[in-house]
A and B are shown apart, each in its own frame.
Chain A
């Protein structure tokens, strides 16, 4: 399963979501500005307090890391 931890105002989150959608990857979009528990989950999973964080079937990707996403999608 793919989860995108994001905030509504963050441009890199929009980019990441757009990129996943274009590549026909289904994902769950989690707004961490609204959901504190999910925010804590994201921080503990990634060691990061910045968005986006993508949980790609267990692999944690920090930021909009296009090369890594491309690698995982193929």
Chain B
């Protein structure tokens, strides 16, 4: 039994933490209501620094959260972020009147909502949270974006030598959280409405509201365009070397592509595979010289220039691959258990198709301030139309988007 039980009676629990502006705003309101309604409903305030177990038990993931109890069960929907006094009062009356016995969707009101916790989104969060804007970051996966699937990063400034992708991203997460950014992980954004002055973003169980939105949903790997590629995905056809590379110990594999990702990941995969054929459409690579040197030095890797994959053979698993030389027209069948493909990315922008302007490939158009065609809605990182897509400029974009989002919000207050 804990203080949330309220002896089976109704109650309002406010979860707060230190250094959190929206918490400071709601505490006096909570106190005021406890004087008005205290006879009929119990009020408690829980500082999660003192009672982490309680927050864990009720899965309280962001501060502040207001939670309502009726007859020992959670009732109505939780409120979070900036909590409006009228809405707070309405909830209390609904609980007392038995108007919302079932727990329903949670509502969170923030200053800024950031969609995606890759380098661009986290960089933006560091800036907005540090400026004391209440910042919510939502990611369908765990924070980290594409970098969380990268073995090592060698070209991001300030890392004192090569750093593992996941470690770099853990640092960014910690930095954003240290300023008070709230990261909601494993929540896919499935709905958006940017038409009103207050923007609305929804996930399966929560509605988020804020004045400014920063889109940082990044990109995902382009799929191999060969018959049966989708059918054989996970059965030989792969897009993430850090995920599945280790299952190809001692195997013959193919890597497809010619850019930095293909060249670097081929070198990483050579730690597992017995032999690698790198299939490249052209007669040169676009990867950096440093990457190419490492590749050419590796005896386990050979390159099929001017070539493309034309057929995948295998019953339940990939067994053989037919490649074709585009110059000579010659076909060759190679025994291979796996193919790792790095042929570029496609932006994750389906959701925004009808709201912000995009180019024909689905990249979002922004001005130099990262603002999209809708004022107060920004885009940064790999989702934007631009020529170079790297961590360094994703982080740069994020900083710019955040600074202009902040200016936008203060212009509304004037």
Among candidates A7, A19, A66, residue contacting B247 with C-beta atoms closer than 8 Å: A7
Are B151 and A9 in contact (CB-based, < 8 A)? yes
Are A50 and B186 in contact (CB-based, < 8 A)? no
Are B243 and A50 in contact (CB-based, < 8 A)? yes
CB distance from B168 to the nearest CB of A (A): 13
A36 contacts which chain B residues (CB < 8 A)? Answer: 249
Given contacts A11-B148, A49-B338, contact A32 B246 (CB under 8 A): yes
Are B317 and A15 in contact (CB-based, < 8 A)? no
Given contacts A15-B142, A18-B142, A49-B317, contact A10 B243 (CB under 8 A): yes
A63 to B243, CA, bound (A): 11
Are B186 and A51 in contact (CB-based, < 8 A)? no
The yes or no answer to B166 lying at the interface (CB within 8 A) is yes
- Residue from B142, B243, B337 having most chain A Cβ neighbours under 10 A: B243
A67 to B67, CA, bound (A): 25
The yes or no answer to B131 lying at the interface (CB within 8 A) is no
B240 (CB) vs chain A CBs: closest residue: A10
B337 (CB) vs chain A CBs: closest residue: A49
Are B246 and A33 in contact (CB-based, < 8 A)? yes
The yes or no answer to B244 lying at the interface (CB within 8 A) is yes
Are A9 and B242 in contact (CB-based, < 8 A)? yes
B147 (CB) vs chain A CBs: closest residue: A11
CB distance from B332 to the nearest CB of A (A): 24
The yes or no answer to A39 lying at the interface (CB within 8 A) is yes
A9 to B234, CA, bound (A): 16
Q: Can you spell out 22 A-B residue pairs with CB atoms less than 8 angstroms apart? A: A7-B242, A7-B244, A9-B243, A9-B245, A9-B246, A11-B141, A11-B142, A11-B144, A11-B148, A11-B242, A14-B142, A15-B142, A15-B186, A33-B247, A47-B235, A47-B316, A47-B317, A49-B236, A49-B244, A50-B233, A50-B238, A66-B186
Q: Which residues of A contact B (CB under 8 A)?
A: 7, 9-15, 18-19, 22, 32-33, 36, 39, 43, 47-51, 62-63, 66
5 A-B pairs with the lowest CB-CB distances in the bound complex, closest first? A33-B246, A50-B234, A10-B243, A9-B242, A11-B148
